[in-house]
């Protein structure tokens, strides 16, 4: 039976910035059960009751599981619009296959 190597643990780099008053969260790496809490903490730190649009820059996101989907759906309940910028093919297909393309706006 193969052993899991702790050095192979998934990682997600999270960078937060502001773009004309709108929060932008840049994700790279893997968004999964192991990394979702750090992304949620960053998201919660920038969300306010007045947040109209939350932008996730996901051009460098290599993997996302159902934990990532749940996080994005949660974000859509807290912000009026959730935008996924430059989604990779795997992220785009996952959003489309789960029927969330109308809830999570993908640009381009």
Could you give the dihedral angle defined by the CA atoms of residues 30, 32, 76 and 20, in that order, rounded to the nearest 10 degrees? -30
Nearest partner of 43 among 19, 69, 67, 78, judged by Cα: 78
CB–CB of 22/11 below 8 Å? no
Using CA atoms, how far apart are residues 70 and 61, in angstroms rounded to an integer? 16
pLDDT over 90 (residue 1)? no
CATH code given to domain 12-107: 3.30.750.24
Query: What percent of the chain is modeled with pLDDT above 70?
Result: 91
Predicted TM-score (pTM) of the model is: 0.89
For residue 21, CA distances in Å to 46, 48, 81 come to 11, 12, 14
pLDDT at 49: 81
Query: So where are the chain's domains?
Result: 12-107
């Amino acid at each position: 039976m193969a052993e899991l190597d702790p050095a192979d643990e998934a990682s997600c780099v999270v960078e937060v910035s502001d773009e004309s008053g709108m929060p932008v969260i840049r994700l790279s790496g893997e968004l999964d059960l192991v990394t979702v809490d750090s992304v949620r903490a960053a998201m919660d730190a920038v969300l306010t009751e007045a947040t109209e649009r939350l932008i996730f820059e996901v051009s460098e996101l290599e993997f996302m599981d159902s934990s990532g989907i749940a996080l994005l759906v949660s974000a859509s309940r807290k912000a009026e619009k959730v935008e996924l910028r430059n989604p990779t093919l795997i992220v785009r297909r996952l959003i489309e296959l789960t029927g969330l393309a109308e809830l999570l706006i993908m640009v381009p």
